Structure 1
Amino acid sequence: MKISKIYTYPIKGIRATELDSVVVTKQGFPYDRRYMLLQVLDDGSYKNMAVAHYPAMTLYFPTLNIPEDGDVLKGSFTVTYKPPGGGEEEGEERRIDIPLKPKTDDLDEVEVTMHRSPTKAYKMPQEYTDWFSSTFGFPCILVYLGSDMRKVLMSTNGNKQPASAAAAPSTWLSSLSSKATQLVMGADPSEQDSRITFADCAPYLIVSAKSMDDVHARLPAGEDYDITKFRPNLIVTGAERTWEEDFWGELTIDGKTKIECEHNCARCKSLNIDYATGKPGLGEAGSMLKKLASNRRVDPGMKWSPVFGRYSFLHPGSEGNEIKVGDEVFVSKRNDERTKFDWEGLHTLK
């Protein structure tokens, strides 16, 4: 098997940026979901914006801008808003540049809670509020995560430690400048709990391209389904059978980078969005969640939701390695049974 695609999502919920290569870290890819959008409600409170409930987020396209000297602290990404159809009736494309690592000293703090895991974020300046509010058509703000990463709350969550935790990040300098390290480090590398950005449940989401054969078989002949609707970080191609990834326990990339596949990824109505219009889909693809639910509700921990893909964590000994498209992928651990999704402390909820 091989890596066929690598994706990162600078702002949670909007489109992905495709990469040829990337450095892997315990908290995920360097630029993955460090930003998030929040709707401002009438009472002044904030509501997390996720693509399942805000399908127009699929009309926003990010592009990374890294200086030639590789100094990502001076880097940025451009978000392009592409209204469906374009032209006068729908409005023209609009763009805004956002720093990869903004200065946060003078920014107001905002508390953000995702999946019962709270964190502190920073409200970006007014120019970003104005731009996103104008394009979405309602008040919203852009927030940056900074170094206060969220705690992972799954029953197993990649908390393994290397023999010397402090020594693990040393390999970063072989592929990144020291300033780049400041950006991708984020959390304290000696932190015992596994930490993530604004990603839902784990730093990495891995899917198998082979299983798209089954997905396409649920649609009319000749109609394809966009695999990026599953929001993967890594797409692996070359598996022998559809859905064999349900049993992947660990993948080894290029003989040295180990990714631990710990949980299934349950799916929601975001699968039904028409990415071309930024609205719920009307055709057969617009009922993909129901189609998959017919026989892909295979995790008793999420018995009402179909599964596609594996939530994954980086093995401590792989911190700072570089992976690239075309790298060989080997299943170095295979589970006898499917894993069961569970939150820590789930039994305490009413």
Structure 2
Amino acid sequence: MKITQLYTYPIKSLRSVPLTTTNVTSHGFPYDRRFMLIKVHNGSPSSPRYKSHVNGNLENMTITFYPELALFLQSIDTSKATFTVTYNPPDGASKSLEIRLEPEVAPLEEMDVRLHQSPAKAYKMPERVNTWFSECLGYNVMLAYLGPNKRPILGNLSPRVAQNGGAMSKSWLPSIKGSIPSLIAGKTLEEEGISFADVAAYLVITEESLRDVDSRLPDGTRMDVTKFRPNIVLSGAGAPYEEDYWGSITINAHNRKENAHERQENSGFIDIALTQNCGRCVSINVDYSTGKPGTGEANVLKKLMKDRRVDKGNKYSPIFGRYGFMKGAGAGQAIAIGDEVTVSKINKERTTFEWPGMGS
């Protein structure tokens, strides 16, 4: 197999940034979901869209419940250490805002964020940023920046727990710090933390499974791969949804013709533990051109529900893709489109998803 597409998402739930090459870290790609928009309510929300997204009068914003976030495009300029957000409404003029990829946190107000019951300290971005987003959306929001902080991995998503047969899945401890050794490459629990990505550092999907989704749509219609919010897209799997059973993959950068000197310094192999399947929601139905829920044949979720509800821990959601975490000593190494990938572990049975407050 080969890597065919790579994506990162500086602000959670906004549009993707395609990459040709990127480094890998224990917490995901650099700059991936380090920011998240938060709606500021006047008092506590009377009927929050998702209770676990609410902290007082603040509500985490995701494209599942705020499809208008699809109208914000993102691009990265590493030479300036910035990224640009462009608001592109269907019936109005576009406007853009430039934001530093790694803002200085000292002058920023600290805040508590809890996403899917996983807590972290974050920072409220400056008023000029919050005002810009509020004016675009027509209601009060703020942009939260995670900074150097991380969210704990709950349930049985961590490779440490997966390797232990899920034995710790009922006793996740969000307050545990990084003093307890991990079973994976000596990592600590703190080092296994994640960004504002939902539950894992990486999401891996295959072109073969994507083509199966295409086959369910009207003739001439193809599914937009970015609606599945992947980080790594692979081509060359033996069959659609073969990845349901993958336990880990190994990315081989040795065969690249460029950067030979770097290859000699690095091992060239990056292992990604694939711990759980990804249950899907209505976010895959969003019409990216209008920022509204899709209708009619656009209901991809319903089409997948017919035969893809295959995870006992997520029995009401169709499965598409695998959640993953880097394992071993590959941090800082680069991967690129065209890199070869092999399946290094195959599970005998599908895994069963567990995360407090999610799934079934």
The TM tier, using the shorter chain, reads: 0.7 to 0.9
TM-score, length basis structure 1: 0.85
Q: Distance in 2 between matches of 1:296 and 1:232?
A: 18
Indicate the residue corresponding to 1:281 in structure 2: 294
Choose which of 82, 87, 90 in structure 2 pairs with 1:81.
87
Shift in Å, 1:158? 2.4
Q: Distance in 2 between matches of 1:301 and 1:82?
A: 38
Q: Distance in 1 between matches of 2:36 and 2:300?
A: 26
Which runs of structure 2 are paired with 1:138-149 in the superposition (5 Å)?
138-149=139-150
Shift in Å, 1:214? 1.6
Q: Distance in 2 between matches of 1:151 and 1:203?
A: 11
Which runs of structure 2 are paired with 1:1-350 in the superposition (5 Å)?
1-43=1-43, 45-67=57-79, 75-84=81-90, 90-159=91-160, 160-161=182-183, 191-192=189-190, 194-254=192-252, 256-285=269-298, 287-343=299-355
Shift in Å, 1:155? 1.5
- SS for the counterpart of 2:329 is helix
Q: Distance in 2 between matches of 1:162 and 1:121?
A: 27
Alpha-carbon contact 2:201-2:325 (below 8 Å) kept = yes
| Matched AA of 1:328 | E
Compared CA separation, residues 136 and 335, structure 1 to 2 (3 A): same
Shift in Å, 1:8? 0.2
Q: Distance in 1 between matches of 2:186 and 2:232?
A: 28
Alpha-carbon contact 1:155-1:344 (below 8 Å) kept = no
Compared CA separation, residues 157 and 344, structure 1 to 2 (3 A): farther
| Matched AA of 2:81 | G
Shift in Å, 1:222? 1.4
Identity between Structure 1 and Structure 2 (%)? 46
Q: Distance in 2 between matches of 1:54 and 1:115?
A: 16
Shift in Å, 1:283? 3.3
Indicate the residue corresponding to 1:170 in structure 2: none
Alpha-carbon contact 1:152-1:193 (below 8 Å) kept = no
- Once the two structures are superposed, residues 75-101 of structure 1 have per-residue CA deviations (whole angstroms, 9 ceiling, x without a partner) of 1100011111xxxxx221100000011
Shift in Å, 1:191? 4.9
Q: Distance in 2 between matches of 1:20 and 1:13?
A: 21
Gaps of 5+ in 2: 45-56, 161-181, 253-267
Alpha-carbon contact 1:161-1:316 (below 8 Å) kept = no
More helix by share: 1
Comparing 316-325 with 23-32, which one deviates more in the overlay? 316-325
Compared CA separation, residues 345 and 99, structure 1 to 2 (3 A): closer
Shift in Å, 1:316? 2.4
- SS for the counterpart of 2:159 is coil
Shift in Å, 1:154? 2.4
Shift in Å, 1:192? 4.8
TM-score, length basis structure 2: 0.83
- Once the two structures are superposed, residues 96-152 of structure 1 have per-residue CA deviations (whole angstroms, 9 ceiling, x without a partner) of 000011111121112111111111110001101110001111110011001120000
- SS for the counterpart of 1:317 is coil
Q: Distance in 2 between matches of 1:344 and 1:26?
A: 22
- SS for the counterpart of 2:103 is coil
- Once the two structures are superposed, residues 170-189 of structure 1 have per-residue CA deviations (whole angstroms, 9 ceiling, x without a partner) of xxxxxxxxxxxxxxxxxxxx
Q: Distance in 2 between matches of 1:65 and 1:3?
A: 23
